[in-house]
Chain A
Amino acid sequence: MNLFQKVLLASAVVAAPISAVAQEAATLDQKVNEAFATTTGPFVNLIFAPFPGTSFPWIVMWLVVGATVFSIYFGFVQFRFFGHAVRLVKGDYSDPNDAGEVSHFQALTTALSGTVGLGNIAGVAVAVGIGGPGATFWMILAGLLGMASKFTECTLAVKYRNEYPDGTVSGGPMYYMKKGFAELGLPGGGFLAIMFSVFCILGALGGGNMFQANQAHAQIEGIVGEFPGWITGLVFAGVVFAVIVGGIKSIARVTEKIVPFMGILYVGASLVIILMNYDLIGWAFGQIFAGAFTGLGIAGGFVGALIQGFKRAAFSNEAGVGSAAIAHAAVRTKEPITEGFVSLLEPLIDTVVICTMTALVITISGQLLIDETTGNYILNEAGTAIATIGDTSGVALTSAAFGSAISWFPYVLAIAVVLFAFSTMISWSYYGLKAWTYLFGEGKGAELVFKVMFCVFIVIGAAANLGPVIDFSDAAIFSMAVVNIFALYFMMKLVRRELNSYAARLKSGEIKAYTH
């Protein structure tokens, strides 16, 4: 046996177990995926059931009607008090003696770090990839209307939060449902709170966890090549475990500081690409408007664009879902409604600004294939989505769109996606935990059970395919909105009372700005 043969033999001996492990890994991923799709199927089908005889899911209508009702009921508060909201965030109305408490700015940015993330990058790509650029129009509309939903839920979250003797606070839809219904003399508040908490836990595990892990893995794979999803899952789970169980706050703190800059960098890069193609801006908006009402050849026509736009907007800004209300509840203010005003900026920043940027970049990049003769989009072989260069979807489509203009940007995007995914997971682990402790009490043991479960789901999410994960994530998050918006209809008069009183005092000069 010569040296070459020896080396060959040695490498075969080493390689055999590795390839066996790789094969096992592939089958493990498949098994996780199959088991997951089968278990969650019925729940997903129920939430996305279409109206009889149509293909229009009832849940989309539920969200849009809710947001429209709140917009009209509060006289389009999102526009009337927009300037006031900005001044509140700037701290113009903050009492200097309250310095050191959670400021409006901090509550807003904390809530934003939970919502700005993959919904804006991957979710928009899914919407535009399936619903065409026209989906953007409906997304923006949903964002503008959603501002009123957010306003309603966040006002209530501060008004009915629990303040404990040790000075800590707990708030969110479960608390306002229980206390608010009791105040109104209505039955069922406790039941709604329990339902909401159950769905919130599912939402935390779905959209706030598995979807994030899944898309972070897809992004890493896009850079380093294919490898089993559970490896990414384990790494993520390890880091999240270190933060939420190990209490290594420094990791979370570093992320909280990097994420806003990543957000700014993302918007900046989008603007650069859009400005580089300034001659296409008019055309892109033309595609958005034309596609919104005709569909431009996409599957399901303009209804398809509308469904995708509304769905992804709700998934991205979470207006009406009730999650951000948990984050906003921590602010210290004498006027709960001020937090409502501040929170209405969230869908604006998240959806109307950031999501639109992504959609414009994808549209301008030319990644979506157009039939030159008809001007319509070409569908993929399955006929479910628009054909793209390189057959990409989700975060890979966004990455390709950015990469076509700035070749190195996919690497920055990959880092941004991983960080966004991580910060969203940390935020949602908190939302899920609040729901969990509402159900099972605030004890170390109960908290640990949830936290460990949360980490296990990260691995499942990273290993499963995008299809079943995105379906379950949507279904779980939207089921929160079912309960939340239902409760908000009964409680919106409590918010109007606050709004009228505050508006009158603001007008009379009783509420004054501390700085001008």
Chain B
Amino acid sequence: MTTTLVVGLDGHASGERALKHATRLAELIGDCELVVAYIIEWSPFSFQTAEENEARHKRREEETQTAFSRVVNPAVESMSGSGIKVRGVVRHGDVSDALIAISAQENAEQIIVARTSEGGFAKRLFGSSTSNLVMSSPVPVTVVS
């Protein structure tokens, strides 16, 4: 049976580190598929103007396209020739909720993310996406430093 691992990308070097670690795991496991996911931070409870609402669907499509072309597709291409199956996914939502939802949908064995260097006041107040993910994920989470 194929083992599925979900890898969280963030468009930065930390995402690449997560992908590198996942690749290493996949090689050790053998029959393994990687689902590389990029989550566009978005809340259904934000306040928007009427004009923003009007163009929201269009903007969503554009955001998804941009995420694929700038982050996800290059990551998938970088794996070509490695012999490991890779698929790219882009979602909108809360990073930790969306990664958990993807892992449930894909029946994944674990989620691999990297620790980001972002910090500051907001992080102290609300916690980071990574720590939220570790706290609430029903599948094991590997946090690459």
Interface residues of B in 47-72 (CB under 8 A from A): 47-58, 60-61, 63-64
Nearest Cβ on chain A to B95's Cβ, whole angstroms:
12
Nearest Cβ on chain B to A348's Cβ, whole angstroms:
19
Instruction: Check if B56 sits within 8 Å of A101, measured CB to CB.
Output: yes
Report which residue of A109, A166, A167, A431 has the largest number of chain B beta carbons within 10 angstroms of its beta carbon: A167
Tier of interface size on chain A: 35 or more
Tell me whether A496 is interfacial, beta carbon within 8 Å.
Answer: no
Given A102-B53, A168-B57, A332-B56; A110-B42 close (CB under 8 Å): no
Instruction: Check if B57 sits within 8 Å of A167, measured CB to CB.
Output: yes
Residues of A within 8 Å of B49, CB to CB, are: 110, 249, 252-253, 256, 426-427, 430
Instruction: Check if A427 sits within 8 Å of B92, measured CB to CB.
Output: no
Tell me whether A260 is interfacial, beta carbon within 8 Å.
Answer: yes
Instruction: Check if A107 sits within 8 Å of B53, measured CB to CB.
Output: yes
Against B, the Cβ 8 Å flags (1 = close, 0 = not) of A138-149 are: 000000000000
Tell me whether A364 is interfacial, beta carbon within 8 Å.
Answer: no
Count how many pairs of residues, one from A and one from B, have CB atoms less than 8 Å apart in the complex. 89
Against A, the Cβ 8 Å flags (1 = close, 0 = not) of B86-125 are: 0000011100001001000000000000000000000000
Q: Return the contact of A102 from the options B56, B64, B91, B98 (Cβ within 8 A).
A: B56
Instruction: Check if B55 sits within 8 Å of A168, measured CB to CB.
Output: yes
Instruction: Check if A168 sits within 8 Å of B48, measured CB to CB.
Output: no
Tell me whether A103 is interfacial, beta carbon within 8 Å.
Answer: yes
Q: CA separation between A315 and B45, bound complex, in Å? A: 27
Residues of B within 8 Å of A100, CB to CB, are: 40, 42, 56, 60, 63-64, 91-93
Q: CA separation between A170 and B58, bound complex, in Å? A: 13
Residue of A nearest to B60 (CB): A100
Tell me whether B83 is interfacial, beta carbon within 8 Å.
Answer: no
Q: How many residues of B contact A (CB 8 A)?
A: 26
Instruction: Check if B55 sits within 8 Å of A167, measured CB to CB.
Output: yes
Q: Return the contact of B48 from the options A104, A106, A166 (Cβ within 8 A).
A: A106
Nearest Cβ on chain B to A427's Cβ, whole angstroms:
6
Given A100-B93, A330-B53; A256-B48 close (CB under 8 Å): yes
Tell me whether B82 is interfacial, beta carbon within 8 Å.
Answer: no
Tell me whether A326 is interfacial, beta carbon within 8 Å.
Answer: yes
Tell me whether A91 is interfacial, beta carbon within 8 Å.
Answer: yes
Nearest Cβ on chain B to A323's Cβ, whole angstroms:
11
Instruction: Check if A167 sits within 8 Å of B101, measured CB to CB.
Output: no
Tell me whether B81 is interfacial, beta carbon within 8 Å.
Answer: no
Nearest Cβ on chain B to A29's Cβ, whole angstroms:
32
Instruction: Check if B101 sits within 8 Å of A327, measured CB to CB.
Output: no
Instruction: Check if A330 sits within 8 Å of B54, measured CB to CB.
Output: yes
Instruction: Check if B47 sits within 8 Å of A256, measured CB to CB.
Output: yes
Residues of A within 8 Å of B40, CB to CB, are: 100
Tell me whether A169 is interfacial, beta carbon within 8 Å.
Answer: yes
Q: CA separation between A332 and B45, bound complex, in Å? A: 15
Tell me whether B46 is interfacial, beta carbon within 8 Å.
Answer: yes
Nearest Cβ on chain A to B102's Cβ, whole angstroms:
10
Given A99-B93, A99-B98; A113-B47 close (CB under 8 Å): yes
Given A167-B58, A332-B57; A430-B51 close (CB under 8 Å): yes
Residue of B nearest to A427 (CB): B50
Residue of B nearest to A243 (CB): B49
Instruction: Check if A110 sits within 8 Å of B56, measured CB to CB.
Output: no
Residue of B nearest to A261 (CB): B47
- Excluding A167-B57, A167-B58, A330-B54, 14 further A-B contacts by CB distance (< 8 Å) are A91-B45, A94-B44, A99-B91, A99-B92, A99-B93, A100-B56, A101-B57, A102-B56, A105-B44, A114-B50, A169-B54, A170-B54, A252-B51, A256-B47
Q: Which 10 A-B pairs have the closest CB atoms?
A: A100-B92, A167-B58, A103-B44, A330-B53, A99-B92, A100-B60, A430-B50, A99-B93, A167-B57, A102-B56
